[in-house]
Chain A
């Protein structure tokens, strides 16, 4: 019961402070895994991002359900999801009553001028954590001290290919992320990552 209450509260905070869409919840989830190491690991979280991108539904909601499920089963998933949306419901039901005043408010506009770059910085920092897990061998490097041991070369090669396909090649860059996720899974199996 305490677990469910804690989950609800953690996701309530995430829903209240994550600004800028689905990915914006990611830094909060990393923060959560650092404070509750028994709930889920940073590596698991990277997998959850992939599953959330590849399944129907908004990413932020999918990740909340996933984290909740990993932590407390079906009830955990339910509580985490409800926790995430509760602040939205409260805030929107208030804002909807004064839509015009809210949109024209100088302070709201000015606060979001500062919040948008904040969101970008936080998501990028969360990205660094995933890079550490996916592209580097920090343990091997710490043990041997050899710089060549630091990089997971197979993973770096795949990342370079994906980067080109998602950003530079016209024919592939508009494809849905699920395509790249599935291809990466296949490459992972074929080349035993």
Chain B
């Protein structure tokens, strides 16, 4: 039964993907290309590329895409539910446990230490994304503008997203791109 296979395969990819993004490509290769033969490596990279260029979590977008190509609309939905299923179960359990222990002083100290690490992890992912995003003066200006405005004012991120999409189109048409 194809829908069950899709669900199980993507649940497996979900369990084995730590962190998402590029980390999931080897898992997808093994499960979707080698094991099931639902797509070739090239197709997989295409789907992944589109997953990056559409809103939402990349892993989810890629799952929907492969599910759709394999078994139509319902396939897309089933694959998506499969990829999020492990997260849902695991996080619900862990969140429940943490909630019960969060008042213990040692746990508080542990999380104070962890938050420091989160700062560094966010910084590292900013550096990584910066390399692919800030390529010229226009993108540098956009990035700094968004950063400064959102640090000092409480503006919805949606406003920035819409503004920057429009600015990207405008800059491209004006020919300032790449300068």
Contacts and interface: CB of A to CB of B under 8 A. Distances in A.
B20 A50 contact: no
Interface in B47-76: 49-61, 64-65, 68-69, 73, 76
Contact of A85 (B51, B80, B132, B158): B80
> What is the interface residue range for chain B against chain A?
35 or more
A18 B55 contact: yes
A77 B91 contact: yes
Nearest to A133: B115
B68 A96 contact: yes
A112 B53 contact: yes
Contacts of A135: 116, 119
A9 to B, nearest CB: 13
Interface string B132-168: 1110000110111111001100101110110111111
A69 B160 CA distance: 28
Contacts, number: 372
Given A113-B172, A120-B134, A133-B115, A180 B121 contact: yes
Contacts of B144: 121
A134 B116 contact: yes
B57 A15 contact: yes
Interface in A153-193: 155, 158-159, 162-163, 166-167, 176-178, 180-181, 183-189, 191-193
Contact of B167 (A55, A58, A114, A123): A114
Contact of B129 (A92, A120, A184): A120
Given A95-B54, A134-B119, 18 more contacts: A46-B114, A47-B111, A84-B56, A88-B56, A91-B55, A110-B177, A117-B139, A120-B147, A124-B126, A125-B146, A125-B151, A135-B116, A155-B115, A162-B117, A166-B120, A181-B118, A188-B116, A193-B109
Interface of B: 14-21, 24, 46, 49-61, 64-65, 68-69, 73, 76-77, 80-81, 83-84, 86-88, 90-92, 94-96, 98-99, 106, 109-127, 129-130, 132-134, 139-140, 142-147, 150-151, 154, 156-158, 160-161, 163-169, 171-173, 177
Complex A-B, nearest 3 residue pairs according to Cβ-Cβ distance, in ascending order: A188-B113, A114-B168, A121-B146
Interface of A: 13, 15-23, 25-28, 31, 34, 43, 46-47, 49-53, 55-62, 65-66, 69-70, 74, 77-78, 81, 84-85, 87-89, 91-93, 95-96, 99, 102-103, 106-128, 130-131, 133-135, 155, 158-159, 162-163, 166-167, 176-178, 180-181, 183-189, 191-193
